[in-house]
């Protein structure tokens, strides 16, 4: 991908990835180390608090990533967290994308023949837990990491794809065919997360989308998320990936025709202009011989 990522840039990337999961990681280590009996809700609250406090304390003023030393609110705005014009439309887009994603998962689960709709699969603990990936994965991957890579490569296109690959690789759980399906799926979902951020020029819609997708995940999956064999996995993921395709089209429609786009982009700085085109028709050539 062009320039090698070494030295300071490599350390910045490592810190962005590490701190996106710092809260859950610390909770897991403390829980195992002291053999504590914490509820899922308690773990979720601690994880979100630790992640939020760590990032907001360290990145703007200690690590000074990605734009040097800044006040917290200035830092948040610089990485895409602000109230853009048309914020209601952005929130609505995020909700719609989440609903489409969950609908695809529901049909994929339903057609495996093993799906059981059960409201008890939802819990307050999981709703709170989902705040951490919903908010902080978007800020750290689509915000901080994306900007680090844009500054390194001076290319929004390279940053888009490399950040999405890194996001997928961070979700590896094993090396079985099922785990491979999952990583590919996370990569495809990551494309939609990244596309939302790039085209809306803010992180609000993506945060809402990511949170809804994660918070209601267990409501639309087979019991315990179990998909055995090629048929089960193919059925589930075909429907999910089709939903992602629909989401890409929705983002294009909303940003092109409904004004769901911030006037300023966190990805345009130091003379770098967003010329990245993905899932959008190229302008038609109209040159004709006279």
Q: How far apart are CA 123 and CA 214, in angstroms?
A: 12
Longest Cα separation, the chain: 81
pLDDT of res. 288: 40
pLDDT of res. 16: 97
Residue ranges of domains in the chain: 83-257
Q: What are 125's two structure tokens?
A: 């603990």
Q: What is the DSSP string of 232-290?
A: HHHHHHHHHHHHHHHHHHHHHHHHHHS--S-SS-TT--TT-------SSPPPPP-----
Q: How far apart are CA 118 and CA 124, in angstroms?
A: 15
pLDDT of res. 285: 42
Q: What are 202's two structure tokens?
A: 């803010």
For 67-112, the pLDDT digits (tens) are 999 999 999 999 999 998 889 999 999 999 999 999 999 999 999 8
pLDDT of res. 209: 98
Q: Enumerate residue ranges in the chain where pLDDT < 50.
A: 1, 285-290
Q: How far apart are CA 260 and CA 238, in angstroms?
A: 29
Q: How far apart are CA 277 and CA 267, in angstroms?
A: 14
Q: What is the DSSP string of 164-230?
A: HHHHHHTT---SSHHHHHHHHHHHHHHHHHHHHHHHHTSSHHHHHHHHHHHHTGGGSSSGGG---HH
pLDDT of res. 223: 67
Peptide bond between residue 81 and the one before it cis (omega within 30 degrees of 0):
no
Q: How far apart are CA 197 and CA 80, in angstroms?
A: 8
pLDDT of res. 4: 65
For 99-152, the pLDDT digits (tens) are 999 999 999 999 988 888 889 889 999 999 999 999 999 999 999 999 999 999
pLDDT of res. 278: 82
Q: How far apart are CA 54 and CA 26, in angstroms?
A: 11
Question: In 35-155, where does DSSP find H-type helix?
Answer: 40-58, 72-78, 87-110, 124-129, 131, 146-153
| Secondary structure element (H or E) that encloses residue 10, with its range | helix 7-20
């Amino acid at each position: 991908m062009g320039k090698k990522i070494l030295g300071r840039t490599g350390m910045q990337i490592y810190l962005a990835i590490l701190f996106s999961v710092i809260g859950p990681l610390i909770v897991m280590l403390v829980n195992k180390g002291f053999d504590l009996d914490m509820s899922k809700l308690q773990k979720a609250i601690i994880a979100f608090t630790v992640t939020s406090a760590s990032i907001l304390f360290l990145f703007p003023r200690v690590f000074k990533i990605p734009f040097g030393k800044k006040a917290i609110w200035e830092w948040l705005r610089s990485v895409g967290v602000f109230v853009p014009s048309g914020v209601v439309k952005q929130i609505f887009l995020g909700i719609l994308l989440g609903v489409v994603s969950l609908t695809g998962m529901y049909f994929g689960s339903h057609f495996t023949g093993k799906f059981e709709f059960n409201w008890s699969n939802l819990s307050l603990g999981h709703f709170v837990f989902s705040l951490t990936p919903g908010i902080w994965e978007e800020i750290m991957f689509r915000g901080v990491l994306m900007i680090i890579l844009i500054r390194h490569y001076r290319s929004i296109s390279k940053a888009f794809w490399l950040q999405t690959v890194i996001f997928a690789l961070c979700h590896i759980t094993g090396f079985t065919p099922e785990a491979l399906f999952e990583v590919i799926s996370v990569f495809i979902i990551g494309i939609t997360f990244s596309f939302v951020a790039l085209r809306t020029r803010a992180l609000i819609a993506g945060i809402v989308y990511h949170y809804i997708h994660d918070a209601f995940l267990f409501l639309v999956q087979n019991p315990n998320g179990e998909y055995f064999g090629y048929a089960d996995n193919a059925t589930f993921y075909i429907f999910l990936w089709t939903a992602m395709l629909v989401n890409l089209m929705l983002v294009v429609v909303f940003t092109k025709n409904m004004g769901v786009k911030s006037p300023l982009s966190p990805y345009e700085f130091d003379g770098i202009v967003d010329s990245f085109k993905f899932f959008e028709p190229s302008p038609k050539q109209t040159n004709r011989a006279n």
